[in-house]
Every structure is written in structure tokens, then in C-alpha cells.
Amino acid sequence: MNRTMKLLTFLTIMAMGTSLRAEVLSFISEAAFSAELQARGYTPLVEDFEGPDWDHVRSNYPIQNAVPAVTSKGLTWSGNAKITTNQNWARTGNWGLYTVYEPPGSLDELFVDSDMPIFAAAGWFNSNPDGADMAIEVDGQVVAERPIGSGHQFLGVIMTCGFTSVRFVDLEGQTVWGVDDFTFATGGTFQDCNSNGLGDECDLTNGSSNDCNNSGIPDECELASGALQDCNTNALPDECEAVSGQVYASGQLSPLGAGSPQSFTISAPAPTRSDAIMDFSAYANLSGSNRFVDVDVNGLAVGTVFVVDGSNCPELVPNQARLTVPMAVFNSIVDGGDAVIQMTPSIDVALGECDLPAYISATVTLFVASPADANDNGLLDACETLGDMDADGDVDLDDHALFAGCLTGPGGGLPMNCTSGDLDLDNDIDLLDFQTLQAAYPAF
């Protein structure tokens, strides 16, 4: 598999692995890059190496006016050796930038550093001879890459969480090269509910904020606004303390191909209190819209994965996809029994197309009642008023009426929406529970 395909696979994982919030987007089209900048509200900063900041580094053979670094428009440029400009590397105007070719055999590279976060970097690259494998690196990781053909070629990246240093390099180190007409973005419109100078999505991605209910808003902001409750004042939203994530993993299931569906069974899972999350990893030829995997639970279809986001036998990381099954749908299908997850490849997913055996694996995450909510009524036991059937903070005749409608007798089980009436936690609602309720409201 070529380097470009590997990069695209990596970028897909970057986007998914951050809960689909922070994004890394690479571009080989200036029009697409510019449109995305505008759509996201970023303010472009253009560097064409023509301004007065660069006048002291003008070189044309045999004169070389080169320096270790140049600061222009708030960005500091440097290289593995000294940097300078000349007319050979210009795309527009008179000047393009390059690093002096010394010492012999060194890997030519350019760096840009900023005191403020950069959210996008892009420019036009040219090499001699043609064929440089140009890349943009952030934190040692290639985030954009393309081979350079004849003339200047465009390459750019947008990273929504920002960076402060970026490296431009020919990964194969077999050419000399120069650049011109760069565009950066050092700011944009974003939500910053906690006023820390970073967008909310970046707080969530870098772990400085939590988002236990997957709302896309840091928990501390929802607590401050009253959108989430914290009855025990421990800075954790009650609704999240009341649930516990249960993860079920299939491991690698092989082979994966037409006529070879795979399945795994979750034994009698507790009802989920939020949507069921299904994550899939697959090593197979899943490129093209005709190659996909249908997913069902207990014989009922819940979705299809890899329709548009699959690739051909990825070497670095497997194909990744996610399905979200609504809570009511999942609980209705399972209904207290086992959950059999079946993955059926389309007819065009052929066996034997990869170097290694094709496989798929599934990870299912359910959100069930935690020990902090033993009666599974969505309220923290530590904050709950015993007998408060309607969860309004007191015990009164309204609760008595609700209790009466839930009464089943010894061994009678728990009707729907009646778990808060099981005051002795013995899985029924009987006169023993009524005694507890009566003690909470003597007027009965």
C-alpha cells in the first residue's frame, strides 16, 4: 500500500479516536482548503515572502544572503541550515523560500514556530528533480503528504485543536526544494464556554475537560449553567455517576468475506440507559461503496458500516467504523435475553485479497445502572429521598398514588417505571416496601 493510502487511513483514525470532535484535515487543493477555512471562520494569514521582513535574505547565484531564522507576521521561519529566498522557487511575485543546501547530504527541512496556536498551514512546493515526497509534520507525526510533480504543487492541513510548531520536509530526502505562497490560520470562531482560550472541542480532546454525557459541551460548563445536576457537589454530573459503562469485545473474528459472516454473543446484558455504541475494526478490502458490512442484533438490522470510510487492506491500522443504536431499539431487541451481534460482508468483500487473513472485531459499549444508583431509577442513592416516587424532592400523596399503581406483591417483579418503589431492593413492590414508604410520610 502506498504512503498516501496509509496517511488517509491514519487521518480517519485521528478523526474517530477523538470522539469525532477534533479534526485533522489534509488538502491537495487550494480551493478546497480555502473553502474549509472560510466555513470554519478562520482568518487567513498569507505569507508570500515578498514583504520587507524578507528583504535582507534575497539571494541569486552567486550571492547568498542567508540567515538562521526570519520572523514575519508573527511566525518564525527556520531550517536545518540557513534560509534565504531567490527567484527560482517563486510561484508568484519575485521570491520563493528555501534552505541553503548545506551541509552536503543533509535532509532539507523548514520549520515554522508561533507563540499563538496555528490552526492551518498550507503552501506551494516545488522540487528539483520532480518527485519529492513532501510532508507536513506536527509533533513528529505526518499529517499531510503528497508527491510533487512538475512545477509547484499545493499541500495543506487544518487541525482544529491547533499547534505551535510545524515542519515541512521531503521524506525521501532525494531532492532540493523550495516553497512559496503560504496560508496560515492563527484564529477563528469557536465555542469557549470556560474562557480558557481554547475551543471546547479541544478541551475535550486533550483531556482538560470531561464530557460524560457526550453533549459536546464540557461538563463544568453544563454544571455551572444548571443544565446538569450535581446533588453531592463532587463536580461530577449526577446522570453520569448513576451509570456505568460496560464494554464487551469480540476479539478478532476471521475470516471476513462474502459468505463468511461473523458473530459474537453478549450474555444477558442489563438494559442500557443510553444509546448502545458499536465500534468495528476490520482488516479487509473494504474500498469502494460496493464493499461494506451489514450489522444486525438478534436478526434485526441495526446499520451498515464501511460504506464510505473503508480502504483496501490497510497496513498501519485497520478500517474503523461506529454505529450508534438508539437505547429503545437496543433494549427492545434484547428484551432481557442475549444479544447476538452478527456482521455480514457484502458479496464484493472477497476472501484472500489481503496479504494477511481478513478479520473484523466489534466492541459494544452499554451504559447500565451503576452501584451509585442501586434501584436503577436514574437518581443517586446518596441524594435520593426514600419513597420519592416522582423525584420531586419530597414524599407526599402523589408518591402514594404512584406506589399504589406499582404494587405487585411478594415475588411479583418490577413493572416499568416502578423501580423507585422497590424500597428494600428485593425485586418486587409489596407491603414491606409500603411500610418504608409509610415511615417516610406518616400521614398515610
Return the C-alpha cell found at 285. Answer: 478490502
- Side chain identity, residue 248: Y
Regarding whether 161 and 31 lie in a shared domain, the answer is yes
Using CA atoms, how far apart are residues 441 and 385, in angstroms rounded to an integer? Answer: 11
Q: What is the CATH number of the domain that holds 398?
A: 1.10.1330
Regarding whether 405 and 349 lie in a shared domain, the answer is no
Q: Among 14-18, 176-180, 407-411, name the most confident range.
A: 176-180
pLDDT of amino acid 334: 96
Return the C-alpha cell found at 314. Answer: 490497510
- Side chain identity, residue 318: P
Given 168, 185, 202, the domain boundary residue is 185
pLDDT tens-digit map of 158-172? 998 888 899 999 998
Given 341, 369, 397, the domain boundary residue is 369
- Side chain identity, residue 333: I
Model confidence at 206, pLDDT cuts 50, 70, 90, reads: confident
Regarding whether 418 and 339 lie in a shared domain, the answer is no
Return the C-alpha cell found at 239. Answer: 446522570
Please give the sequence-ordered ranges of beta strands (E in DSSP) within 100-242, or none if there are none: 109-128, 133-138, 141-147, 153-170, 176-185
Using CA atoms, how far apart are residues 37 and 100, in angstroms rounded to an integer? Answer: 32
Domain count of the fold of the chain = 3
Please give the sequence-ordered ranges of beta strands (E in DSSP) within 252-410, or none if there are none: 262-266, 276-283, 293-297, 300-305, 319-325, 339-345, 359-369
| Residue 312: count of CB within 10 angstroms of its CB | 17
Regarding whether 50 and 158 lie in a shared domain, the answer is yes
To 10 degrees, the CA torsion angle through 67, 73, 76, 80?
Answer: -60
Residues 6+ apart with CB under 8 A from 226: none
- Side chain identity, residue 88: N
Using CA atoms, how far apart are residues 219 and 209, in angstroms rounded to an integer? Answer: 7
Regarding whether 104 and 13 lie in a shared domain, the answer is yes
Regarding whether 130 and 10 lie in a shared domain, the answer is yes
Q: Is residue 228 part of a domain?
A: no
Least confident segment among 48-57, 162-171, 309-318, 407-416: 309-318
Q: Is residue 205 part of a domain?
A: no
Using CA atoms, how far apart are residues 333 and 403, in angstroms rounded to an integer? Answer: 29
More confident residue, 437 or 183: 183
Using CA atoms, how far apart are residues 184 and 267, in angstroms rounded to an integer? Answer: 53
Q: Is the pLDDT of residue 444 over 70?
A: no
Q: Is the pLDDT of residue 45 over 50?
A: yes
Q: Is the pLDDT of residue 6 over 70?
A: no
Average pLDDT (83-98) is 95
Regarding whether 130 and 89 lie in a shared domain, the answer is yes
Element (H, E) at 433: helix 431-440
Model confidence at 399, pLDDT cuts 50, 70, 90, reads: confident
Regarding whether 265 and 399 lie in a shared domain, the answer is no
State the distance between the two ends of the chain, measured CA to CA, in whole angstroms. Answer: 75
Q: Is residue 346 part of a domain?
A: yes
Model confidence at 16, pLDDT cuts 50, 70, 90, reads: very low
Model confidence at 232, pLDDT cuts 50, 70, 90, reads: confident
Strand partners, 142: 137
Regarding whether 144 and 31 lie in a shared domain, the answer is yes
Regarding whether 7 and 129 lie in a shared domain, the answer is yes
Q: What is the CATH number of the domain that holds 97?
A: 2.60.120.260
Using CA atoms, how far apart are residues 95 and 163, in angstroms rounded to an integer? Answer: 27
Q: Do strands 276-283 and 176-185 pair parallel, antiparallel, or not at all (unpaired)?
A: unpaired
Q: Is the pLDDT of residue 422 over 90?
A: no
Regarding whether 165 and 22 lie in a shared domain, the answer is yes
Question: Average pLDDT, whole number, for the chain?
Answer: 86
pLDDT of amino acid 370: 82
Q: Is the pLDDT of residue 15 over 60?
A: no
Q: Is residue 220 part of a domain?
A: no
Regarding whether 404 and 364 lie in a shared domain, the answer is no
Given 319, 343, 369, the domain boundary residue is 369
Return the C-alpha cell found at 334. Answer: 434484547
Residues 6+ apart with CB under 8 A from 135: 142, 144, 145, 168, 169, 170, 171
pLDDT of amino acid 4: 32
Angle at 210 between CA 244 and CA 383, to 5 degrees: 50
pLDDT tens-digit map of 243-261? 888 999 999 999 999 999 9
Q: How many angstroms from the chain centroid is the CA of residue 114?
A: 25
Do the beta carbons of residue 5 and residue 26 sit within 8 Å? no
Q: Is residue 198 part of a domain?
A: no
Using CA atoms, how far apart are residues 204 and 196, in angstroms rounded to an integer? Answer: 13
Q: Is residue 230 part of a domain?
A: no
* Structural domain span for residue 422: 385-440
Quote the percentage of the chain above a pLDDT of 90. Answer: 52
Q: What is the CATH number of the domain that holds 266?
A: 2.60.120.1200
pLDDT tens-digit map of 331-388? 999 999 999 999 999 999 999 899 999 999 999 999 888 878 776 667 777 777 778 8
